[in-house]
Amino acid sequence: MGASDMMVELVDWRSLDRETMTACMQLHTKVWPSPEPLATVIERTWQDAQQVDSPQVAQMCGHLIRDGQRIIALARSFHRIIAIDGISMPILALAGVCVDTSSRGRGYGEAVVRHVWSRLDDQVRCSLFQTGIANFYERMGAVRIHNRITSSGRSFWDPHALIYPAKTVWPAGTIDLQGDGW
């Protein structure tokens, strides 16, 4: 399968069957190793996806590329309200971008990220995310921000925070993620 015949599939994260969720988390933990056993990660993710009262989970989407039944690229997105110096701002969160190591260099990472960004609209005009590989996203039109970031839980942990599109008028000030980082 080459980049010319890739198809990004948009899925409601809550509606994933257990087999697809397992395949997603196998890829995720292959790219982003966890100290927890894979079975624990899969079970926790499955349980989290079943939380009907979580606004974040309620509208989380998966963006998948498959090669047969194998998932070779994945990203997640969800809407979130953040606050910058107390002023609320809706954003589209980009999270968990990963491509199977055997499939890198073929455009799959860019395809799933652009698919996430296609969810931007008049109500949610920019995406906020963190990364250790800022140059990858900057080549696609994102820009680094330098705001201080806080949260009521786990904050951002990667060295760079970015927004997309770069033309977004982004305010200075402290960002409150109003929940855990992603």
Closest by CA to 33, choosing from 94, 101, 93, 110, is: 101
Q: In the chain, how many domains are there?
A: 1
Least confident of 47-51, 124-128, 167-171: 47-51
Residue 80 within any structural domain of the chain: yes
User: Which tens digits make up the pLDDT trace of 54-79?
Assistant: 666 667 899 999 998 899 999 999 99
User: Which tens digits make up the pLDDT trace of 64-121?
Assistant: 999 988 999 999 999 999 999 999 999 999 999 999 999 999 999 999 999 999 999 9
Average pLDDT score over residue span 135-145 = 97
Torsion of CA 149, 150, 151, 155, to 10 degrees: 60
* Averaged pLDDT of the chain: 90
User: Which tens digits make up the pLDDT trace of 161-178?
Assistant: 999 999 999 999 999 999
**What is the pLDDT, as a whole number, of residue 1?**
45
The CATH number covering residue 83 comes to 3.40.630.30
Structure tokens at 177: 């993620």
**What is the pLDDT, as a whole number, of residue 59?**
78
Structure tokens at 129: 């995310």
Range of the domain at 100: 3-176
| Res. 4: pLDDT tops 50 | no
Which one-letter amino acid corresponds to residue 85? Answer: D
**What is the pLDDT, as a whole number, of residue 2?**
47
Cα 70 to Cα 47, 81, 163, 178, distances in angstroms: 22, 33, 30, 35
Residue for token pair 């969810």: 119
Residue 138 within any structural domain of the chain: yes
* Helix H or strand E segment including 62: strand 61-67
Average pLDDT score over residue span 120-134 = 96
165 cis-preceded (ω within 30 degrees of 0): yes
Question: What φ, ψ does residue 96 adopt, rounded to 5°?
Answer: 60, 35
Residue 182 within any structural domain of the chain: no
